[in-house]
Amino acid sequence: MLIGIVSDTHSRYATVAKACHLLRERNVELVLHCGDIEDGQTVRMFDGLPTHFVLGNCDSNQQELRSAMLDSGATLHEPFGNLELAGKKIAWIHGDDRRLFQDVERSGHFDYLFYGHTHHAEHHWTGSTQVINPGALQRARPKRFMILDLASGIMESLTVD
């Protein structure tokens, strides 16, 4: 199963459109968004891609975001997301709430924890959990997101500029 992980899209429509095109082109089956979406139009750009969102600190218009997610069939998870996919336990969070982030990171319950907020790609291990920031699609050089093949564990970082 291929999943896409994106974060910090911040209503940058041209960049989001390019990333969504690549996700579709690669036949990604599900997308996790680590927050800082900012508006409903950005949510709707993921139409046709089963997308699971969490909110970030810049997602102030929550009513608009919730409505767009409902209309497009996306799923909102609060205060963080967690799913079991292909036998792997996955969590994702924005990362601005440090206490919550550390609690999830140190819980030992997840194979993967994805996060955003910092706009910097990063990967480390905490116990048996891989903790990964895919990068950001705004205020980052390069702008990046990732695709994870859950069957093989192979991660690919893709750039959009």
| Mean pLDDT for all residues in the chain | 97
Q: What is the pLDDT of residues 31-56, one digit of tens each?
A: 999 999 999 999 999 999 999 999 99
Length of the chain: 161
Provide the 10 A C-beta neighbour count for residue 127.
11
Q: How many H helices and E strands in the chain?
A: 4, 11
8 Å CB contact between 37 and 65: yes
Q: What is the pLDDT of residues 81-108, one digit of tens each?
A: 999 999 999 999 999 999 999 999 999 9
Q: Cα–Cα distance between 100 and 141 in angstroms, integer?
A: 28
8 Å CB contact between 111 and 128: yes
pLDDT of amino acid 161: 79
pLDDT of amino acid 38: 96
Going along the chain from its start, the domains and CATH numbers come out as 2-159 (3.60.21.10)
pLDDT of amino acid 137: 96
8 Å CB contact between 71 and 41: no
